[in-house]
Amino acid sequence: MADFVSTRRRLPGGDLSPATALTLDRVRLGAGGPLVRLRVAGGRVTHVVVEEGTGGWARPAGGERVLDLEGRVLLPGLWDAHVHMAEWASARHRLDLSGTGSARAVADIVRARGGGASDGTVLFGYGFRDGLWPDAPHKRLLDAALPDRPVALVSADLHAAWLNSACLALVGRGDHPSGLVREHECHEVLSALPAAPAEVVDGWIADACEAAAARGVTGVIDFQYGDAVEDWERRSAESPPAVRVAAAVYPSRLDAAVERGLRTGAELGVGGGLVRVGPLKLFTDGSLAPAPPPRRARRPPTPSGGLLPSARAGRHGPDCRPAAPPPGPPRRAVPPSPPGRRGGGWAVRTATPDALPRAARRAR
């Protein structure tokens, strides 16, 4: 029988006493893997015993909890590499439009579900994909369904929002021709809407983290708009989250992050490393929605100092994560992180065969 083998370092200050430890008995390490006894304490896997047929199982210390998993498979925890935590947590309290097949069908849902409140609060919905619809979203449809209450509907990819006239007036865009806003205009509109109190959103996020953990998610990279670093410092001071969190930095916050000396992976707040600084979020032209964005869209201005965000981040700390390249076959691949820095990208919808090898050569 193999002896207990330490697999991870102990957390500073972690409680490793038998009363808080948990031993998983007869658990299989991966599909087709060996049966083991595995001990967890202080938030870490501390020991593993592999049965070799020569002496049975080592016994856990007295007072420890033991779960006999009868051969069930143990897998590494899942990480959600791109989530907007406040949006997702709030979406659990909004109209779900993900299964709608047309703009008119959405208007019918708004009409049926939106008449309950008369205090002028915004009716939020999420999840529509207008690029798959036979008709176009327009403020007139929402005005006919719910004329007196502000309505704000957010697309599945969070890059578009559909508002009625009452909501457009609320954010100072009463003269908008259609009520459908995309990309940076969308983010500006959503930021201008009345927000739920921070303590309410924090409670929703805590509940969402627990729901994610119950489904096997152990960590998320939070790309929520605004100052995710400051938000997670506040939340972790109140209560450590149920999952690990990497809080992304937006270009508009890069100078502040550099001033503080923040680097990707640095611990934030309290909680023994559960919350850390995430990557730098970079926008390029484009959207993840099925409907291609207008080609007149432009990249946001560079931060102060005249450096492109990726170069400034490369000099000072945050890793780079570009997202949403332009539609159509690009002539050049999205620039990688500066040499020696980690990074990544997603949302490459179309690319010429030689684009990605060029990016790989540049990243070496």
Tell me what pLDDT residue 134 has. Answer: 97
pLDDT exceeds 60 at position 304: no
Amino acid at 209: C
The pLDDT of 231-246, averaged and rounded, is 94
For the stretch 73-101, pLDDT in tens is 998 889 999 999 998 999 899 999 999 99
The pLDDT of 61-71, averaged and rounded, is 84
Q: What is the pTM of this model?
A: 0.65
Q: CB within 8 A of 171, min separation 6: which ones? A: 163, 189, 192, 193
For the stretch 108-120, pLDDT in tens is 999 999 876 666 7
Tell me what pLDDT residue 8 has. Answer: 34
The CATH number of the structural domain formed by 85-192 is: 3.10.310.70
Token digits of residue 350 = 């179309």
For the stretch 98-156, pLDDT in tens is 999 999 999 999 999 987 666 678 999 999 999 999 999 999 999 999 999 999 999 99
Q: For the residues of 241-307, what is the DSSP string, one character each?
A: -SSEEEEEE-GGGHHHHHHHT--TT-B-SSSTTSEEEEEEEEE-S--SSSSPPPTT--PPPPPTTS-
Tell me what pLDDT residue 302 has. Answer: 41
Strand residues in 30-90 grouped as ranges (E) = 35-41, 44-50, 65-68, 73-74, 78-83
Fold of 18-75: Urease, subunit C; domain 1 (2.30.40)
Query: How is the chain split into domains, by residue range?
Result: 18-75, 85-192, 198-363
